[in-house]
Copies of this chain bind each other. A is one copy, B any other.
């Protein structure tokens, strides 16, 4: 392509109703100049996806995945057609495409398919004709042309994958917030917008609770080194750049604070302290189809130990049943559950080169009389499991301790 290619992705809240669709159309036509090519990826209107899903579940408790994809993909087809209609009302040339039409081929893992290839000739042709190209996000087709969807947040993935396939110069993700924040600004008023963040930090923040972008999309952007600009569709402000390395930035140890109340804790008491016991427990849990996250084993006393672990709250019933079964088998004691827990995490690539970050975190929590029940660390994050009713206090305390309110 001779001119710069810009990819813009608009989320469901950006196209939630007729007025917002018109506003996005105006924004698009302002971006499109004679000197660039513009490809827009769009999610389903507001709550369409939830409504379609609800209908399917009213009909069938276990709707087949292939048919769910057939159903759910219509949401994005509707919004891309309406957006093209809105752009044409502004006297600009536009054309909408489904995932099938732009040759987004996926594997056949319905409802969570992975993109295999993107042909994209139709996009290139339409761009060369001066048209604004509008692509239905979240969808592709198998080799057999069966419709697939890419999982929740899959429109981000469509945008990033198109950016890679078309060798785009910018990939902008438009959402209903101004960018990525040091922590959730709805909970902490001192939260600051982060100007630049690395893919690794963003991935860590996404997996620990920040909900701005789908983790898989960030992984793909990281793999192909596609810079992402996360910004608001309701303002002209610059948002947050997600990039490979953060050379310009001063050496900040902690980039952001996340929290997450979606997990529950299970404790198996009085586990016989023998080799292979942990393996037995977590093989049992895994066979029940449950992903375990943090695991803590207490120091052994009297040849018995307590083993605690966290699981998604949605899987708690399954996990408890599996835990009780295995506890009985290995002659352990009681199995306890605790749903009133939350995770608070600090994230930052700078941790690699800074000392004392963990100590500082624990100190901040102690100063606020917050008891730590479990601890988990990764290369660029530290998470603590605490009582759920203390989580907002913990976030505020950590945000202050690491002086994130003083950024910018």
Contacts and interface: CB of A to CB of B under 8 A. Distances in A.
Interface of A: 18, 21-22, 52, 55-56, 58-61, 63-64, 66-68, 70-71, 73-74, 77-78, 80-82, 84-86, 88-89, 95-96, 98, 100-101, 122, 144-147
Nearest to A136: B70
Contacts of A82: 55-56, 59, 71
A262 B82 CA distance: 30
A77 B74 contact: yes
Contacts of A58: 18
Q: Give the number of times this chain occurs in the complex, counting copies.
A: 2
Contacts of A66: 95
B74 A59 contact: no
A125 B212 CA distance: 43
A55 B45 CA distance: 12
Contacts of A95: 66
A328 to B, nearest CB: 34
A85 B100 contact: no
Interface of A (DSSP majority class): helix
A17 B73 CA distance: 20
A222 B101 CA distance: 35
B59 A85 contact: yes
Given A68-B85, A122-B144, 7 more contacts: A56-B81, A64-B85, A67-B84, A71-B81, A71-B85, A98-B147, A100-B100
Given A70-B96, A101-B145, A146-B101, A60 B86 contact: yes
Contacts of A88: 60, 63-64, 67
A98 B66 CA distance: 13
A14 to B, nearest CB: 15
Contact of A59 (B22, B63, B71): B22
A85 B64 CA distance: 7
A31 to B, nearest CB: 19
Given A58-B18, A59-B89, A64 B84 contact: yes
Contacts of A145: 100-101
Given A101-B146, A145-B100, A145-B101, A70 B84 contact: yes
Contacts of A98: 70, 147
B74 A70 contact: no
Given A22-B59, A101-B145, A145-B100, A74 B78 contact: yes
Nearest to A63: B85
A355 to B, nearest CB: 56
Counting chain B CB atoms within 10 Å of each CB, which of A67, A88, A122, A146 scores highest? A67
8 contacts: A18-B59, A21-B59, A56-B85, A61-B89, A64-B88, A67-B85, A73-B77, A101-B145
A28 to B, nearest CB: 13
A86 to B, nearest CB: 5
Given A100-B100, A145-B100, A145-B101, A67 B55 contact: no
A68 B81 CA distance: 7
Contacts of A68: 81, 85
A249 B96 CA distance: 53
Nearest to A88: B64
Contacts of A61: 89
